[in-house]
Amino acid sequence: MMKGNINGTRRRRRPDLILPLPRRPDPALPLPQIAVPTPLPPSSAAMSEEYQHLDLSDFDRINRIGNGTSQSAVYKVLHRPTATHYALKVIYGNHDDDVRRQILHQINILNGIDNLNIVKCHDVLDLNGEIQVLFEYMDRGSLHGTHLSSESSLADITRQILSGLDYLHRHKIAHRHIKPSKLLINSQNHVKISISGVTRISEMTTHPCNYSVGKIAYMSPERINTDLNHGQEDGYAGDIWSLGVSILELYTGVLPFEVGRPGDWGSLMSAICMAPPPQAPGTASPEFQAFMACCLQKDPVRRLTAAQLLRHPFVTGTRLDHALPTKFEHEMLPPPPTSFTVAHIPIYN
């Protein structure tokens, strides 16, 4: 007789608790094309002579920073003529012409981004198939592993991240990998979103099983389980979910999902897709609890936009009356999505 069953028959599984596992893409099939918008107009800084004529012979490599990937490395470098530090990302490999064009096209678009809360891309060089990208250097690294129990400090960081996200979304760019390790800070306490990930275009895939647990943890439910939201994925709403998970992790010091054991991506995906969305601790302020509820909605249509969240009482520092959260959320809910496809740049690790 089976344990836990009085009649010896196998229990029926509950179909509502079954998460379809994603299939790995067929390597024989062609890679999907990257959808990109018209390039942004270059900023005045990018057009200046200083950034048009940077010569790699004028740089000294100080040390390697960040882990990069098997295809890339990031170095702290010194520009001797100006005594300025930069971050130099080197993308190795002999890419075919199509992949190289896609990489350079994406980087050139990112090179036109000009926002105080997005890490600046200063220059791009293609040297015998080895692509080198020069970025602004953030001397205090990323927010990965940071624990911020002060809500006022967290609100300031959140405001800066939302400012960068609002800029990207207004220019029809979805980041798709917002997480603490992609949020950089400098000694002036300026927080900026890293957009340095361009190494995985040649192996681009949206299947969750091709990502590490560290990436899955910040993905929205509809991105993991494509059966949700009628198979439609809104990259902008996905960024807001990722922001909510990241801010909650910074506040509590731990990821807000319960899994059976570390590294168990199956349990993690089930927790994200099937469990109730994470909530701020009951000891947090009403403003912070309401802010988390606006970000971590299972239904992407009910998540507020970056522009709306910039006006949230938690971010602006105003008090939220206990009787107002529902009214506030209702008034700021975005309209139902229209039937069009938004082009975006997927920014990879």
**What are the boundaries of each domain within the chain?**
44-136, 151-332
The confidence band for 347, taking pLDDT boundaries of 50, 70 and 90, is very low
Side-chain-side CA neighbours of 234 within 13 Å: the count stands at: 21
Q: What is the pLDDT of residues 102-149, one digit of tens each?
A: 777 777 777 788 999 999 988 887 777 678 889 999 999 999 999 999
Fold assignment, 151-332: Transferase(Phosphotransferase); domain 1 (1.10.510)
Instruction: Please tell me the class of the 44-136 domain.
Output: alpha beta
Answer yes or no: is pLDDT of 23 > 60.
no
The whole-angstrom separation of Cα 159 and Cα 176 is 19
CB-based burial label for 310 (10 Å; 0-12, 13-18, 19+): middle
Answer yes or no: is pLDDT of 324 > 80.
no
Q: Which amino acid is at 203?
A: E
Q: What is the pLDDT of residues 286-320, one digit of tens each?
A: 999 999 999 999 999 999 999 999 999 999 998 87
Indicate the angle between helix axes 151-170 and 286-295, nearest 10 degrees.
30
pLDDT of res. 43: 41
